[in-house]
Chain A
Amino acid sequence: MTPRQVLIWGGAALALLTLLPLVVGANVIDKLTGLFILMLLAAMWGLMAGQAGLVSVGQQAFFGLGGYFALRLVDGGFSAYPALLAGAVGAAIVAWAMSFFLLRLKDGEFAIATWVAAEVIRILVMLDPLVQGETGTSLLALNDIEPTLRRNLGYGFALVSLAAMLLAAWWLMRSPVGTASRALGDDDEAAASLGVRVMSTRRAVYVLGAFGCALAGVAWLASAVTFLPRTNFGVQWSVLMLFMVLVGGLRSMAGPIVGALVLFTLQESLGDFGVWYLAGVGALAALFALFLPQGLVGLWQERRARLAAQAAAAAPPASALPQTPTTRSNTP
Chain B
Amino acid sequence: MIDAIVQGVLLGGYYAVLAAGLSLMFGVMRIINLAHGDLAILGAYLVLALTAAGLPWWASALLALPVMAVVGALLQRWVLARTLRAGVLLPLLVTIGLGALLQNLLYGVFGSDTQSLADALGPLSWASWTLPGGIVVGKLPVLTLLLAIAVLASLQLMLKRTRLGRAIRAASSDPEAAALNGVDAARVHRAAAGIAVALAALAGTMLALRATVEPYAGPLLLISAFEAVVIGGIGSIWGTLLGGILLGLAQSLGAMVSPAGFHLAGHGLFLAVLGARLWSQHRAAHGRPAWPWQARQAPAKPGTAAAKGVA
Smallest CB separation, B279 vs chain A (Å): 10
The verdict on A93 contacting chain B, using a C-beta distance below 8 Å, is no
Q: Is the CB of A55 within 8 A of B89?
A: yes
A104 to B90, CA, bound (A): 20
Interface size on A, residues (CB 8 A): 45
The verdict on B98 contacting chain A, using a C-beta distance below 8 Å, is yes
A173 to B94, CA, bound (A): 27
Smallest CB separation, B81 vs chain A (Å): 10
Smallest CB separation, A36 vs chain B (Å): 23
A274 to B107, CA, bound (A): 10
The verdict on A116 contacting chain B, using a C-beta distance below 8 Å, is yes
Q: Is the CB of B104 within 8 A of A239?
A: no
The verdict on A314 contacting chain B, using a C-beta distance below 8 Å, is no
Q: Is the CB of B278 within 8 A of A286?
A: no
The verdict on A276 contacting chain B, using a C-beta distance below 8 Å, is yes
The verdict on A109 contacting chain B, using a C-beta distance below 8 Å, is yes
Which of A101, A116, A119, A284 has a CB less than 8 Å from the CB of B275? A101
The verdict on A235 contacting chain B, using a C-beta distance below 8 Å, is yes
The verdict on A11 contacting chain B, using a C-beta distance below 8 Å, is no
Q: Whose C-beta in chain A lies nearest to the C-beta of B260? A: A123
Which of A101, A238, A242, A284 has a CB less than 8 Å from the CB of B278? A101
The verdict on A262 contacting chain B, using a C-beta distance below 8 Å, is no
The verdict on A204 contacting chain B, using a C-beta distance below 8 Å, is no
**Residues in B whose Cβ lies below 8 Å from that of A126:** 260
Q: Whose C-beta in chain B lies nearest to the C-beta of A116? A: B267
The verdict on B307 contacting chain A, using a C-beta distance below 8 Å, is no
Interface set, chain A 100-126, CB cutoff 8 A to B: 101, 104-105, 107-109, 111-113, 115-117, 119-120, 123-124, 126
What per-residue 1/0 map shows which CB atoms of A259-282 lie under 8 Å from chain B?
000000000000000111011011
Contacts A116-B271, A117-B271, A275-B107 given; indicate if A286 touches B263 (C-beta within 8 A). Answer: no
**Residues in A whose Cβ lies below 8 Å from that of B104:** 275-276, 278-279, 282
**Residues in A whose Cβ lies below 8 Å from that of B263:** 119, 123
The verdict on A246 contacting chain B, using a C-beta distance below 8 Å, is yes
A235 to B275, CA, bound (A): 23
Q: Is the CB of A109 within 8 A of B274?
A: yes
The verdict on B51 contacting chain A, using a C-beta distance below 8 Å, is no
Which of A112, A281, A282, A284 has a CB less than 8 Å from the CB of B223? A112
Interface set, chain A 33-57, CB cutoff 8 A to B: 49, 53, 55, 57
Smallest CB separation, A94 vs chain B (Å): 15
A290 to B96, CA, bound (A): 12
Chain B interface bracket (under 10, 10 to 19, 20 to 34, 35 or more): 35 or more
The verdict on A211 contacting chain B, using a C-beta distance below 8 Å, is no
**Residues in B whose Cβ lies below 8 Å from that of A278:** 100, 103-104
**Residues in A whose Cβ lies below 8 Å from that of B271:** 101, 113, 116-117, 120
A81 to B136, CA, bound (A): 56
A275 to B216, CA, bound (A): 11
**Residues in B whose Cβ lies below 8 Å from that of A286:** 79, 93-95, 97-98, 101
Q: Is the CB of B223 within 8 A of A289?
A: no
**Residues in A whose Cβ lies below 8 Å from that of B92:** 55, 107-108, 111
Q: Is the CB of B226 within 8 A of A283?
A: no
Q: Is the CB of B260 within 8 A of A57?
A: no
A287 to B83, CA, bound (A): 11
What per-residue 1/0 map shows which CB atoms of B245-275 lie under 8 Å from chain A?
0000000000000101001100110110011
Q: Is the CB of A279 within 8 A of B90?
A: no
Which of B79, B86, B102 has a CB less than 8 Å from the CB of A293? B86
The verdict on A243 contacting chain B, using a C-beta distance below 8 Å, is yes
**Residues in A whose Cβ lies below 8 Å from that of B102:** 282
Interface set, chain B 76-121, CB cutoff 8 A to A: 79, 82-83, 86-90, 92-105, 107-108
Which of B32, B79, B101, B219 has a CB less than 8 Å from the CB of A282? B101
Q: Whose C-beta in chain A lies nearest to the C-beta of B31? A: A108
Q: Whose C-beta in chain B lies nearest to the C-beta of A115? A: B223
Q: Is the CB of A289 within 8 A of B108?
A: no
Which of A53, A111, A283 has a CB less than 8 Å from the CB of B97? A283
The verdict on A82 contacting chain B, using a C-beta distance below 8 Å, is no
In the complex, which of the residues B86, B104, B222 has the most CB atoms of chain A within 10 Å of its own CB atom? B104
Instruction: Give chain B's interface residues, CB within 8 Å of chain A.
Output: 26, 32, 34, 79, 82-83, 86-90, 92-105, 107-108, 219, 222-223, 226-227, 230, 258, 260, 263-264, 267-268, 270-271, 274-275, 278, 282
List 7 A-B pairs, minimum CB-CB distance, nearest first.
A282-B100, A108-B32, A286-B97, A285-B97, A282-B101, A279-B104, A278-B104
What are 12 pairs between A and B in contact, CB < 8 Å? A55-B92, A104-B278, A112-B226, A116-B227, A123-B260, A123-B264, A239-B100, A246-B93, A285-B96, A286-B94, A289-B90, A290-B94
With A108-B88, A282-B102, A283-B101 known, 7 other A-B pairs at CB within 8 A are A111-B34, A126-B260, A279-B105, A285-B96, A286-B101, A289-B94, A332-B86
